[in-house]
């Protein structure tokens, strides 16, 4: 997706150790039109698989997942990391290490909204190591629902998350793929 | 806004102690079309004040703020509660007690994105005690920016947040106002 690739190259910042800062248009501050276009593009790549729910993890997954769900016309669920008092038992729980926060996080979904009939498209901002997305796929499995695909805005190919997720045998789509980040330079895959 | 009022009455759950569960269409699971319509309605009420940024607090503020910002065609900033490693100094910080989590939370915004030239519309899912929104208004003041209004999906009038915010002398708009919740019954203001 050219519009997103251009923004990543122009405004993304390599903070070292594989960390890409995109706080000006994806995280912290969001460009809503860019996010809408990204959601429309992800929706177009998965619509033929007829997802009935989009699933993401709070916090930074919410915007791309909402934009995708809006384009698909299906509800979006965001897995909670802390349990609000409105979330009643039973709760589906998985855990994943957080890359950007340096600790283990829980991901919780209420089976009220994720049931066995659901055809689930997972959407997130980043595919890096794949550990968060892998935890989301386990939540889908716990619910007895069907995973139909995984879509992300930006893949950091050098962190090999795609390999970790390939055993799931569902399509994985990234709108922009970063091959490497070297000395402050962001190098996209062709 | 009739569509939202109907959903609150039909699907909202009074959990007691003033807590309203709207996890099926606003929090946890989001109805994207409903959220889009709510954002368009909030945008229409504030467009004449020419906001240049929408500001909200993660987590549940992100969806309504994004929908409003999309309709206005301006960026949205979500204040962070935990500081990601991509958020560099200096950082604007305020604190607020969390109603649904039972602890004090920090709200952090990078002045990179919120500067003195900004005309800020604050958007959140709920106006209850007004303490979170009040912390957001203090972030706007810290940045030297101009607050132009406050818009929320649902106001719990019985928690008096509007009174607490009235000294700011900006328009406060709620799409649905709950007068009272009594023995499981949700009573809307006319």
Domains and CATH numbers, chain B: 2-188 (3.40.50.2020)
pLDDT at position A102 is 66
What pLDDT, on a 0 to 100 scale, did the predictor assign at position B138? 98
Residue of A nearest to B13 (CA): A86
Chain A contacts of B69, Cβ < 8 Å?
Answer: 30, 32
d(CA A116, CA A137): 13
With a threshold of 0.90, does the pTM exceed it? yes
A147-156, A172-181, B68-77, B80-89: segment of lowest average pLDDT: B80-89
Residue A174, pLDDT above cutoff 90: yes
pLDDT for B98 equals 75
CA angle B18/B21/B27 to nearest 5° reads: 130
Counting Cβ atoms within 10 Å, is residue B130 exposed (0-12), middle (13-18) or buried (19+)?
Answer: buried
Would you state the pLDDT for residue A164?
92
A12 pLDDT above the threshold of 90: yes
Interface test with A, best of B66, B92, B114, B156 (most A CBs within 10 A): B66
Q: Do A87 and B112 touch (CB under 8 A)?
A: no
Identify the burial level of A141 via C-beta atoms within 10 angstroms of its C-beta, where 0-12 means exposed, 13-18 middle and 19 or more buried: middle
pLDDT at A41 over 70: yes
Pick from A7, A18, A20, A29 the residue to mutate for testing the B interface (most B CBs within 10 Å): A29
**Residue A169, min C-alpha distance to chain B (Å):** 26
Question: For chain B, where are the alpha helices, taking DSSP H only?
Answer: 2-11, 32-46, 62-72, 131-143, 161-165
Instruction: Provide the token pair at A38.
Output: 């990204």
A85 with B15: Cβ contact below 8 A: yes
* Structure confidence at residue A105 (pLDDT): 92
DSSP conformational letter for B99? T
The CA distances from residue A135 to A83, A104, A116, B44, B87, in Å, are 16, 12, 17, 39, 25
Across the interface, whether the CB atoms of A113 and B28 are under 8 A apart is answered yes
Q: Compare CB distances from B66 to A19, A32, A75 and report the shortest one's residue.
A: A32
* Residue at token pair 């990204």: A38
Q: What ipTM goes with this model?
A: 0.97
CB contact under 8 A, B84 and A77: no
pLDDT in tens, chain B (190 residues): 999 999 999 999 999 999 999 999 999 999 999 999 999 999 999 999 999 999 999 999 999 999 999 999 999 999 999 999 899 999 999 999 876 566 899 999 999 999 999 999 999 999 999 999 999 999 999 999 999 999 999 999 999 999 999 999 999 999 999 999 998 899 999 7
Residue-averaged pLDDT of chain A: 96
Which of A56, A62, A118, A154 should be substituted to probe chain B, the one whose Cβ sees the most B Cβ atoms within 10 Å? Answer: A62
**A86–B28: do the CB atoms touch at under 8 Å?**
yes
Confidence of residue A99 (pLDDT cuts 50, 70, 90): low
Interface touch A19/B66, C-beta < 8 Å? no
A119-140 confidence digits (pLDDT tens): 999 999 999 999 999 999 999 9
Put simply, the answer to whether A86 touches B59 (Cβ < 8 Å) is no
pLDDT interval class at A144 (50, 70, 90): very high
Q: At what angle do helices B32-46 and A62-72 cross, to 10 degrees?
A: 110
Q: Which residues of A touch B58 (CB under 8 A)?
A: 58-59
- A15 vs B85: CB contact, 8 Å cut-off? yes
Contact B15 A62 (CB under 8 A): no
Among candidates A80, A5, A22, which has minimal Cα distance to B59? A80
The region of weakest confidence among A29-33, A99-103, B160-164 is A99-103
Instruction: Tell me the C-alpha distance between A2 and A8, whole Å.
Output: 10
Q: CA of A139: how far to CAs of A2, A95, A118, A151, in Å?
A: 32, 10, 12, 16
CB B69, CB B48: distance < 8 Å: no
Chain B positions touching A36 (Cβ under 8 A) are: 70
Give the residue from chain B lying closest to A81, CA to CA. B59
User: Using 50, 70 and 90 to split pLDDT, how confident is the model at A47?
Assistant: very high
């Amino acid at each position: 997706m050219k519009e997103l690739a251009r923004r990543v190259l122009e405004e993304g910042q390599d903070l070292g150790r594989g960390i890409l800062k995109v706080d000006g248009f994806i995280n912290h501050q969001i460009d809503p039109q860019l996010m809408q276009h990204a959601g429309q593009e992800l929706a177009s790549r998965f619509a033929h698989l007829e997802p009935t729910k989009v699933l993401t993890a709070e916090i930074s997954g919410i915007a791309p997942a909402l934009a995708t769900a809006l384009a698909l016309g299906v509800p979006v669920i965001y897995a909670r990391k802390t349990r609000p008092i409105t979330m009643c038992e039973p709760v589906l729980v998985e855990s994943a290490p957080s890359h950007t926060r340096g600790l283990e996080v829980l991901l919780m979904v209420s089976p009220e909204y994720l049931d066995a009939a659901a055809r689930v498209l997972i959407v997130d901002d980043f595919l890096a190591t794949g550990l968060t997305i892998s935890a989301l796929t386990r939540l889908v499995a716990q619910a007895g629902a069907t995973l139909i695909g995984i879509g992300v805005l930006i893949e950091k190919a050098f962190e090999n998350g795609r390999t970790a997720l390939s055993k799931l045998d569902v399509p994985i789509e990234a709108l922009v793929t970063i091959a490497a980040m070297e000395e402050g330079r962001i190098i996209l895959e062709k």
